[in-house]
């Protein structure tokens, strides 16, 4: 089946990026959010990103305008019923995702491929909530979606070759570089990244180095674009916490357990860049490390 019509459920940071790259790659896209206010916020986020791509000379004005016409927004899941592929990018909560997959399974035609952008839950859980587990895959994108080239394409033990190959080809048509991963919590990237981020927080807890110096070590020593603590702020400290809880629950290995300091920062509502404060204060031109 040739994928032409794409649905995206959730228009937050990830959903908006996925919708944007799909529209830029000539797909007909419908994005669903739960309220008019969230539709507006998502629409604005996509528009700002498209404008930024034009300013950075990554996209012509004509291509931006064409992509914009390929995007439609809705608050009704039933509007996604004619889609060839639906990608879920809602909250990282297994109950919410399973309910969504069960509803999409009822609404969509039997050929529709259902995909999740989950970063730590297993695709198998969502597949089992549907009557088409062979047509459920993982399509895990990286933030910022228009910039990061990788997509992890994930198959379970029952994913059909046909559905998997269609999803893989879709990622390529977006201009991304896909990798193949078997279904497991964390796939390839987060299985490596999450213990690394948590170990950076443990270093801080043990007083080994300051926030600034831990990040400087990894940017200047290894050439990473961001150090691990700045990356936590970028991903969202609440998200890092949620992912580590899910991975710890799955593997029961201490390397995935959230360090107490991470819990304290989340309890204070310091979720990183999106709330203005995390390990850093992001209100000025340059991030300033906060005392912890
Ligand atoms: N559309 C298209 N291109 C864009 C763009 C947009 N909306 N916004 C920025 N760009 C381009 C810019 O034009 C620029 O291109 P050039 O390098 O060719 O000039 C490039 O992206 C970098 O942009 P900036 O110069 O504005 O910004 P920067 O140098 O500060 O880099 C960053 C920003 C790319 C995000 C960089 O900080 C980075 O690589 N950070 C790490 C990101 C990362 O690790 N992401 C993964 C997070 S983990 C995850 O997502 C998964 C999970 O499950 C937790």
Q: How far is the CA of 58 from the centre of ligand 1 (A)?
A: 12
Report CA torsion sign: 249, 254, 255, 259: positive
* Token pair 């809705």: residue: 74
Atom 5 in ligand 1: which residue has the minimum CA distance?
Answer: 53
Determine if ligand 1 sits within 6 Å of the CB of residue 47.
no
pLDDT tens-digit readout, 72-105: 999 999 999 999 999 999 999 999 999 999 999 9
Strands 85-88 and 71-74, bridge-based pairing: unpaired
* Top mutation candidate among 24, 144, 237 for ligand 1, by most atoms within 8 Å of CB: 144
- Tell me which residue has its CA closest to atom 14 in ligand 1: 56
Residues involved in catalysis: 119, 140, 152, 190
Contact 186, 133 (CB under 8 A): no
Question: Which band of pLDDT confidence, cut at 50, 70 and 90, is reported for residue 123?
Answer: very high
For residue 77, the CA-to-ligand 1 centroid distance in Å is 31
Identify the residue whose C-alpha is closest to ligand 1 atom 19: 56
CB of 231 shorter than 6 A to ligand 1: yes
Is the distance from CB of 188 to CB of 196 less than 8 angstroms?
no
Report how far residue 6's alpha carbon sits from residue 249's, in angstroms, rounded to the nearest whole number: 33
Residues 6+ apart with CB under 8 A from 5: 27, 28, 30, 82, 83, 84, 85
pLDDT digits (tens, 9 = 90+) for 256-267: 999 999 999 999
CA-atom Rg of the chain in angstroms:
19
Query: Which DSSP string do the residues of 36-79 spell out, in sequence order?
Result: HHHHHHHHHHHHHHHHHHHHTTSS-HHHHHHHHHTEEEES-GGG
What pairs with residue 88 in β-bridges?
9, 116
Alpha carbons 51 and 16: distance in angstroms, whole number: 14
Q: Tokens 């604005």 correspond to what residue?
A: 44
Which pLDDT score is estimated for 292? 84
Cis link prior to 144 (omega < 30° from 0)? yes
Q: What is the pLDDT of residue 9?
A: 98
Question: 76 alpha carbon to ligand 1 midpoint, in Å?
Answer: 32
Share of the chain above pLDDT 70, in %: 100
C-alpha angle 283-271-101 in degrees, rounded to nearest 5: 130
**Maximum alpha-carbon separation in the chain:** 56
Q: Is the pLDDT of residue 149 over 80?
A: yes
Q: Is the pLDDT of residue 1 over 80?
A: no
Full DSSP string of 149-193? -EEEEEE-TT--HHHHHHHHHHHHHTT-EEEEEES-TTTTHHHHH
**Res. 291 pLDDT band, cuts 50 70 90:** confident
Is any ligand 1 atom within 6 A of the Cβ of residue 289?
no
pTM of the model: 0.96
Q: What is the side-by-side order of every strand in the sheet holding 85-88? A: 71-74, 28-32, 5-9, 85-88, 113-116, 136-141, 150-155, 177-182
Distance, in Å, from the CA atom of 249 to the CA atom of 159, rounded to the nearest integer, reads 24
Residues 99 and 115: their CA atoms lie apart, in Å, by 14
Average pLDDT over the chain, rounded to whole? 97
Q: Is the CB of 247 under 6 A from ligand 1?
A: no
pLDDT digits (tens, 9 = 90+) for 205-246: 999 999 999 999 999 999 999 999 999 999 999 999 999 999
**278 to 39, 147, 198, 219, 273: CA distances (angstroms):** 27, 23, 14, 19, 7
For ligand 1, whether the C-beta of 146 sits within 6 Å is yes
Instruction: Indicate if ligand 1 lies below 6 Å from the C-beta of 260.
Output: no
Local confidence band at 108 (pLDDT 50, 70, 90 cut-offs): very high
Query: Running DSSP on this structure, what letter comes out for residue 291?
Result: P
Distance CA 118, CA 164 (A): 16
- Residue to mutate (ligand 1; options 58, 196, 233; most atoms within 8 A of CB): 58
């Amino acid at each position: 089946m040739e994928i032409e019509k794409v649905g995206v459920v959730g228009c937050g940071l990830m959903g908006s990026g996925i919708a944007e790259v799909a529209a830029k790659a000539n797909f007909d896209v419908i994005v669903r959010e739960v309220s008019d206010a969230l539709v507006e916020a998502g629409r604005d986020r996509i528009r700002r990103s498209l404008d930024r791509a034009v300013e950075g000379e990554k996209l012509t004005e004509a291509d931006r305008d064409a992509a914009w016409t390929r995007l439609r927004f809705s608050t009704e899941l039933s509007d996604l019923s004619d889609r060839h592929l639906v990608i879920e990018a809602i909250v990282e909560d297994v109950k919410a995702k399973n309910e969504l997959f069960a509803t999409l399974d009822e609404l969509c035609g039997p050929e529709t491929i259902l995909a999740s952008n989950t970063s730590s839950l297993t695709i198998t859980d969502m597949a089992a909530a549907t009557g088409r587990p062979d047509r459920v895959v993982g399509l895990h994108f990286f933030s910022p979606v228009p910039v990061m080239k990788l997509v992890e394409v994930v198959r379970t033990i029952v994913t059909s070759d046909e559905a998997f190959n269609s999803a893989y080809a879709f990622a390529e048509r977006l201009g991304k570089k896909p990798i193949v991963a078997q279904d497991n919590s964390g796939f390839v990237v987060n299985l490596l990244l999450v213990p690394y981020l948590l170990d950076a927080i443990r270093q801080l807890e043990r007083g080994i180095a300051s926030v600034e110096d831990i990040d400087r070590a990894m940017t200047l020593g290894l050439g990473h674009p961001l150090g691990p603590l700045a990356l936590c702020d970028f991903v969202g400290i609440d998200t890092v916490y949620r992912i580590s809880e899910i991975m710890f629950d799955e593997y029961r290995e201490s390397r995935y357990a959230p360090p107490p300091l991470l819990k304290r920062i989340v309890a204070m509502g310091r979720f990183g860049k999106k709330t203005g404060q995390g390990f850093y204060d992001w209100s000025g031109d340059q991030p300033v490390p906060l005392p912890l």
